[in-house]
Amino acid sequence: MENYSALNLPFDATSDEIRSAYFDAARKHHPDANNGEDNGRRFIEVQQAYDVLSNPNRRAAYDRTLPAAAKTPPEVKVSVSFSRTTLHKSEKPQMIYALLEVECLKTSGSDKLPPAHVCIILDHSSSMRGERLDMVRSNILQLLHKMKPTDVISIITFSDRAEVLIPPTVVADVKRPESQLYGIGPGGATEIFQGLELGFEVFRRFAGRSNFLKHLILITDGQTYGDEERCYELAERSNSEGISINALGIGHEWNDVFLDRLASFSGGKSIYIRNKEDLAQFIEQKIQTLSVNYARKTELHLELPNDIHLTDAFRIFPDGNPLEVLSPIQLGVLDYGRKTSVILEFKIDRLPVERTIGEIARGKILFEVPTKSIPIERLFINLERPVQE
């Protein structure tokens, strides 16, 4: 494995970032700490990468062996605008809003687009009988017909237990999808964790090429009971693997708060599906998205002064969706030639009279570009406003 990728680092990583990434990766992959497959191999890769990158001479020699494309700066621009031109010196709380725009300056070339792995997690509990299940079947077939032949599809069905209907298969090699889909019958209760867990395992087992864009689509018409926290934990794990979750709620019985939060952990979105036209529109948009993704797993890392708090975050483009105010904030995918726009709400507890510049936050935006040999890229940001009486 390439040394920067082994530590999940950008090419221009600082010595402090290298040290911090090494300790994080060593804890994660040490055989004594985690008994998963390949941990011994991954731990050795992490150690070897650190030995090279932590030594300035060895790092310089290694960098000379890399292709020029690996060392090019990100073709991404970040801009910030504020709701106020200045802050006020005050012992009282005040609010300020920031519009953060992350724009990809690169246009796509169809011959360079990475393939996608789409995993559909389909609720087939008793409440999905009849028109709802028929609607989903026909739209999944539409999705299959419009995906690229090199893309990969997998389908999981769940109620109170989960099964693999179609294992990860290159779209060009999928046989008899109609008979498989129409063989699904309704029955059982809704336990969303069962479906999500199996879907996550399918992604893990199907390593494929590392540059696959990974999309998980959860389709359900009901609520899950008692396993919400486990679903959230799994969504966080999925995000660390670069898996984007989109949650589709059919009808009126599903829990919108739960699905909103579930999707937000990976920078995905939740959608209310009222009828077959809504579902068809989502499928069409998803196909377009598969063709224009430049970067996945776009994250906003912020450090705030003690008297400032990030109280809310909302993505307004390309898909409106609330975002979890956690560190890091998951912004979702970044598309070729397009912006991702996010509104951030900050509460400032107090601004002492001696301050002339109000630092609101500083940090960085990390994103992963599957087509690059060193996929991790990073841009620094600094949010501040002048302070007046």
The per-residue pLDDT for range 73-96, each reduced to its tens digit, is 888 999 999 999 998 888 889 999
Confidence of residue 277 (pLDDT cuts 50, 70, 90): confident
Find all residues with CB under 8 Å of 100, minimum gap 6, and list them: 78, 79, 80, 300, 341, 342, 343, 344, 381
Confidence of residue 226 (pLDDT cuts 50, 70, 90): confident
Structure token digits, residue 339 = 């912006």
**Alpha carbon distance 106, 71 (integer Å):** 16
> Nearest 5 degrees, angle CA 205-CA 206-CA 209?
135
Closest by CA to 215, choosing from 113, 323, 290, 292, is: 290
What is the average pLDDT across 5-11? 90
Which of the pair, 301 or 326, is modelled with greater confidence?
301
What is the average pLDDT across 336-340? 90
Lowest mean pLDDT among 45-59, 130-144, 205-219: 205-219
